[in-house]
Amino acid sequence: MFNRGVRNILLTPFLIWAGLFIFIPLVCIVWYGVTDYDGNFSLANLGLAFKHGYIDALKLSIVLALISTVICLLLAYPLCLILTERQRDNTTIISLLFILPLWMNSLLSTMAWQTILEGNGIINQLMRLLSLPDLQLINTPGAIVLGMVYNYLPYMVLPLYISLTKIDRRILEAARDLGANSWQTFTKIILPLSIPGAISGITMVFIPALTTFVISALLGGGKLLLIGNIIEQEFTFQYDWHVGCALSVILMVFIVLNMLLTAAFERKEEEP
């Protein structure tokens, strides 16, 4: 579309931006992560991540992020399926249901969940009205998962919806024509063709869920620490940039792994 010179000029602003604000900070994080307080090379801080306390937070983060991702997928898939089934253009419904919540400040909505779930929160007040025993809702893994699903569901719905609408209706007719019933059409045609959308939805939910510290801080009450909270504490309370950066590097490894997996799947889709 553009010749080389024009392309370079157009790209320059972003390259400067990326260099200054993405590449250099990344190098700094890795640098801090692999050096000790005297500036010597050391893997001690990275190794710390596998010690008691840190590894527990990492495990909990991965488990909760995985659970949230699965729940998002299970909630979003049938919905998207029905929306694409009924008629072709549901853009309005989609934006009302899923884009609008994105306009709401996520901190605000998470705090709203806090007031709903807490000891004297709305749910427990209702329980008391009905003379039922109080429920321990806040500060549980369940509360954190709820917060994650609430915040990240739109990121699952959008790519899934797009990939499902991209499936040509005539392909489904072809499957019916060749003898497939509705269930077989779903499992053999719709499901495999929607995998790219599911994969990008999974990535878009899993990564923020893995790294969040706001949701776990508000709904975990400082008792359930995710890796995001530990990193935050290293910087804001311990002032230990080396450990904080080392943990960030470990987290990055998981994110890169996830992205490699996604890329592998997408390549497989394109050229089997």
Our finding on whether 187 is near other proteins (CB under 8 A) is no
The single residue among 136, 184, 187, 238 that binds other proteins, judged by CB under 8 A, is 184
Q: Does 87 bind other proteins (CB under 8 A)?
A: no
User: For other proteins, which is the closer residue by CB, 128 or 188?
Assistant: 188
Task: Output the CA torsion sign for 63, 67, 69, 70.
Answer: positive
Of 10, 16, 174, 253, the one binding other proteins (CB under 8 A) is 174
Q: Which residue, 59 or 188, has its beta carbon nearer to other proteins?
A: 188
Cβ proximity to other proteins: between 133 and 272 the closer is 272
Q: Decide if residue 183 touches other proteins (CB under 8 A).
A: no
> Which one of residues 3, 38, 168, 236 is an interface residue with other proteins (CB under 8 A)?
168
As beta bridge partners, residue 35 has 41
- Work out whether 178 is an interface residue with other proteins (CB under 8 A): yes
Site size for other proteins (CB under 8 A): 20
Rounded to whole angstroms, the Cα distance separating 172 from 176 reads 6
List Cβ neighbours of 39 (8 Å cut-off, separation of 6 or more): none
Q: Which two tokens stand for residue 144?
A: 């954190």
Q: Does 164 bind other proteins (CB under 8 A)?
A: no
Site membership for other proteins, residue 188 (CB under 8 A): yes
Considering the complex, state which of residue 7 and residue 267 has its C-beta at the smaller distance from other proteins. 267
- In the DSSP assignment, the letter for residue 224 is S
**CA distances from residue 119 to 5, 115, 130, 146 in whole angstroms, order as listed:** 63, 9, 16, 16
Specify the stretch interacting with other proteins by CB under 8 A; choose among 48-56, 103-111, 171-179, 258-266: 171-179
| Binding-site member from 180, 214, 252, 255 for other proteins (CB under 8 A) | 180
What is the DSSP track for 97-153? IIIHHHHS-HHHHHHHHHHHHSTTSHHHHHHHHTT------TTSHHHHHHHHHHHHH
Contacts for 132 with CB less than 8 Å, ≥ 6 apart: none
Long-range CB contacts for residues 256-262, cutoff 8 Å, separation at least 24: 258/203, 258/206, 258/207, 259/203, 262/199, 262/200, 262/202, 262/203
Q: Is 181 in the site for other proteins (CB under 8 A)?
A: yes
* Residue range at the interface with other proteins (CB under 8 A); choices 28-36, 62-70, 167-175, 255-263: 167-175
Among 2, 173, 222, 266, binds other proteins (CB under 8 A): 173
* Nearest distance, CB of residue 1 and other proteins, angstroms: 24
Residues 48-77 vs other proteins: string with x where CB under 8 A? ------------------------------
Minimal CA–CA distance to 77: which of 205, 194, 184? 194
Count CB-CB contacts under 10 A for residue 264: 11
Residues in touch with other proteins (CB under 8 A): 168, 170-171, 173-181, 184, 188-189, 192-193, 269, 271-272
